[in-house]
Amino acid sequence: MYAHDYTDGGDDMPLEVLLVEDSPGDVRLTQEAFRAANSSVRLHVAADGIEALAFLRREGVYKDAPRPDLTLLDLNMPRMDGREVLAQIKKDDKLKTIPIAILTTSESEADIARSYELHANCYLCKPVQLNAFENLVKSINDFWLTKARLPQAQ
Amino acid sequence: MYTHEYSGRGDSVPLEVLLVEDSPGDVRLTQEAFHAANISVHLNVVTDGVEAMAFLRHQGAFADAPRPDLTLLDLNMPRMDGRQTLALIKNDDSLKTIPVVILTTSDAEGDIAKSYELHANCYLCKPVQLNAFESLARSINDFWLTKATLPQIQ
Sheet holding B41-46, edge to edge: B41-46, B15-20, B70-73, B100-104, B122-125
Q: How far is B154 from chain A (nearest CA, A)?
A: 10
Distance, in Å, from the CA atom of A97 to the CA atom of A70, rounded to the nearest integer, reads 10
Is B103 within a domain?
yes
Q: Where residue B39 sits, what CATH number does that domain have?
A: 3.40.50.2300
Q: Which fold has domain A2-147?
A: Rossmann fold (3.40.50)
Range of the domain at B86: 16-108+120-147
Is B29 within a domain?
yes
What ipTM was reported for this prediction? 0.89
Subunit contact A124:B112, Cβ cutoff 8 A: no
Distance, in Å, from the CA atom of B10 to the CA atom of B38, rounded to the nearest integer, reads 10
- Report how many domains make up chain B: 1
* B136–chain A Cβ distance below 8 A for any pair: yes
Is B46 within a domain?
yes
* A108–chain B Cβ distance below 8 A for any pair: no
Is B11 within a domain?
no
Domain residue limits, chain A: 2-147
Please list every residue in chain B whose beta carbon sits closer than 8 Å to the beta carbon of residue A142: 139, 142-143
Cβ proximity of A71 and A20 under 8 Å: yes
Distance, in Å, from the CA atom of B1 to the CA atom of A112, rounded to the nearest integer, reads 9
* A96–chain B Cβ distance below 8 A for any pair: yes
DSSP code string of B35-49: HHH-TTEEEEEESSH
* pLDDT by position in tens, chain B (length 154): 333 443 443 445 789 999 999 999 999 999 999 999 999 999 999 999 999 999 999 999 999 999 999 999 999 999 999 999 999 999 999 999 999 999 999 999 999 999 999 999 999 999 989 899 999 999 999 999 999 999 987 5
